[in-house]
Structure 1
Amino acid sequence: MGDHSHGSPKSSGTVATAGQSEVEKFQDPGLPPHRPRLADKDPRAEKRAEKQVAILFVISIIGTLLFFVGYFAIRLDETIATLRLQNFLLGMGTAFAMLGIGVGIVHWAKTLMPDHEIAEERHAVRTEEDRVIAETMVTEIIEETGIKRRPLIRNTLLGAMILAPLPAIGILRDLSEDLNPDVLRHTMWDAGVRLTRDPSGTPIKASDVTIGSAFHVIPEGLNEAEHKLEEKAKAVVLLMRLNPEDLHVSPGREDWNYNGIVAYSKICTHVGCPVALYEQQTHHLLCPCHQSTFDLTQECKVIFGPATHALPQLPISVDDEGYLVATSDFHEPVGPSFWERG
């Protein structure tokens, strides 16, 4: 066997030992060499990049205008085609408005703003020097962006940024005339209003509802209402039948169901998505948007998901002809929870 002592940890220098001199500090490798971009070398490429950024900002402006066309110019006429057209214009307009600004700023930074790496020593902060340094830094940043000498980019960016927030302001304003949550407290349901199938409007008899079945329900007369979509968004209901012994009824709600037939608002109390999935075996209602789950046997109490409030129950009974009717409106506001729900 040969002598391998020269390769041992102690002799190879790979392991520091007591008494060994201090390991040298890593040397500063310095900044990597700067690679000029095409726009740095070719004035035509610089001008082309400037136009591209401006075009992206113009796309943002067009997107905002497209949103306003869909929001104000498209009048809903109770047809699905018109509703889809408006949703398309609203969605595409918002997407292009946000995307144009975002991509434009990124393209501006990557092609036109200085990309030199700079290393600076940290200096002690002094009151007057701090102010001067901050002022100098702001001035340098403005100069580096080139916004002063590129009016095309400056003007299109200002136009895009001014218009982009307006769709959000319009949407928030139109939530209600006075942004008043009281509009959610009242629907078309009232004592004696028949429960009808959605969308046909055919009345439902109690004998039609079998155990395990589920009906999507609207109030009678909804299809002829002046503001059909707005009223439907508040009044739509899910109707199901369980064995009466499976229901856990709270005091005061004993007459809100009819022989195990119960009706609950279809509007999720999280963000207002339609609760459309009914699991017959578990008696659970599921919202497909964020998986909020409600237990039908416990008056639609939330058992999973982000919703924090049970689905409002519609009190029901039958009329002289055996048709299911409401005995009142909902006793609480429908839809997402808010601070004035009460």
Structure 2
Amino acid sequence: MGNHRDGAPERSGAVATSGDQNQEQFPDPGLPHHEPRLTDLDPKRAKRAERQVSWLFILSIVGAFVFWIGFFAIKADGDMFNVNNPDPTSNLRLQNLLLGLGIACTMFGIGIGIVQWARTLMPDHEMVEMRHEISSEESRASAQEIVETIIDESGIKRRPLLRNTMIGAIILAPLTFITLFRELGPIDPKVLSHTLWDKGVRLVRDPSGTPIKASDVTLGSAYHVLPENILDISHEDGYLEEKAKAVVLLMRMDPEELHVSDDRKDWNVDGIIAYSKVCTHVGCPIALYEQRTHHLLCPCHQSTFDAANECAVVFGPAAHALPQLPITVDSEGYLVARSDFHEPVGPAYWERGKQKQEMASEA
């Protein structure tokens, strides 16, 4: 045995070294055997695969048009011919179906189409590209050659049907999302500064429209309520838009558990409080109330608000507390609003602070 006391790995035999002899024992195996696909051998199968990919791109285009039909043609207060509909919820269900189906077909068609194109028509053989020194002229020429090779191997030039349907799908698919994002909220946030709530307007149950007495609201209960004057507005005059802004969640808890600031002392009635249902994140409707913790939960992105602490945000992406509706009781014991909200409802736009000041000055 040799002397291993110095511990050098190259002399201890514990580590394999790469010498010329070892390199000769492991020759370059080369590229693996390439098994051609059926579309590589049979032009008819290649043509069939091309048509399949084109049909998938066409499905994506059709899905985009289905989305726009649902978005622009289906109205809650009538159909595409503006005929009054006694049941607007049926049109809402149809609209949601078309929107979801349209986006699903748009994304499915373009996604599966590209995958199928790569699997059946684009070259799948392995290749070796030798590394070379970087130089400006050679780099440009090499890059240009790579781009031309990709375009040639993709078959775009010699397959016009596939190329044209792909271009149409790629152009129309993003437009569906742009259309959808455009309607997430009003362009002018001042639209959310005022609702139908006003001094003396009664709180009524949604959807029955019956007014609510303070004695009807038991401890731990919660109601979805609207302003009574919304019942006088038709769908043609913007009923749904006004409802979306004015809808309120009414709750009752032990007054001793409420943490009320000095300027809101008279905004509740013996523990009965009312807050906007419109989440301050992106405007989703808040509908979940946990009696034990007094938390309100937005189902869209899990923003959580503490109703016992003036609906301050305790979790989630929302950046602003829910606006509170000041309430009192009238001479007959019915719950009524003291005024409109003192701040804008809905998503917390960056102009919220300025709008809040303007609303306070108007009041």
TM-score strictly above 0.5: yes
Match of 1:199 among 179, 182, 207: 207
Bigger fraction of residues in helix = 2
Structure 1 residue 90 corresponds to structure 2 residue 83: no
Stretch moving more, 49-58 or 242-251: 242-251
Whole-Å Cα distance in 2 between the matches of residues 83 and 238 of structure 1? 23
Whole-Å Cα distance in 1 between the matches of residues 185 and 295 of structure 2? 32
Distance 1:251 1:29, change over 3 A: farther
Where does the alignment leave 5 or more consecutive residues of structure 2 unmatched? 78-86, 354-363
CA RMSD of aligned residues (A): 2.1
Using the size of structure 2 for normalisation, the TM-score is: 0.85
Aligned residues: 329
Structure 1 residue 213 corresponds to structure 2 residue 224: no
Whole-Å Cα distance in 2 between the matches of residues 235 and 35 of structure 1? 66
Which whole-Å deviations, capped at 9, do the CAs of 1:60-109 have from their partners, x for residues lacking one? Answer: 11101111111122121262111000010011111111211111111111
1:234 Cα deviation after fit: 1.3
Match of 1:61 in 2: 61
SS at match of 1:222: helix
Structure 1 residue 288 corresponds to structure 2 residue 316: no
Q: Which amino acid aligns with 1:217?
A: V
Which whole-Å deviations, capped at 9, do the CAs of 1:131-182 have from their partners, x for residues lacking one? Answer: 11111111111101110000010111112122222223333444567x1111
Distance 1:200 1:22, change over 3 A: same
Q: Which amino acid aligns with 2:218?
A: T
Distance 1:27 1:205, change over 3 A: farther
> Does the CA-based 8 Å contact 1:201-1:221 persist in structure 2?
no
1:27 Cα deviation after fit: 4.7
> Does the CA-based 8 Å contact 1:74-1:86 persist in structure 2?
yes
Structure 1 residue 309 corresponds to structure 2 residue 320: yes
Q: Which amino acid aligns with 2:214?
A: A
1:19 Cα deviation after fit: 4.8
Match of 1:325 among 336, 346, 349: 336
1:306 Cα deviation after fit: 2.4
SS at match of 1:221: helix
Structure 1 residue 187 corresponds to structure 2 residue 180: no
Match of 1:106 among 107, 115, 131: 115
Match of 2:128 among 89, 110, 119: 119
Whole-Å Cα distance in 2 between the matches of residues 27 and 254 of structure 1? 86
Whole-Å Cα distance in 2 between the matches of residues 183 and 259 of structure 1? 32
Which whole-Å deviations, capped at 9, do the CAs of 1:43-65 have from their partners, x for residues lacking one? Answer: 11000000000000100111011
> Does the CA-based 8 Å contact 2:184-2:282 persist in structure 1?
no
Structure 1 residue 279 corresponds to structure 2 residue 290: yes
Whole-Å Cα distance in 2 between the matches of residues 170 and 296 of structure 1? 35
Over the matched positions of the two proteins, sequence identity in percent amounts to 64
Stretch moving more, 166-175 or 33-42: 166-175
Which whole-Å deviations, capped at 9, do the CAs of 1:272-306 have from their partners, x for residues lacking one? Answer: 22221222222222223332221111101111222
Whole-Å Cα distance in 2 between the matches of residues 201 and 59 of structure 1? 45
Using the size of structure 1 for normalisation, the TM-score is: 0.90
> Does the CA-based 8 Å contact 2:198-2:338 persist in structure 1?
yes
Whole-Å Cα distance in 2 between the matches of residues 199 and 292 of structure 1? 25
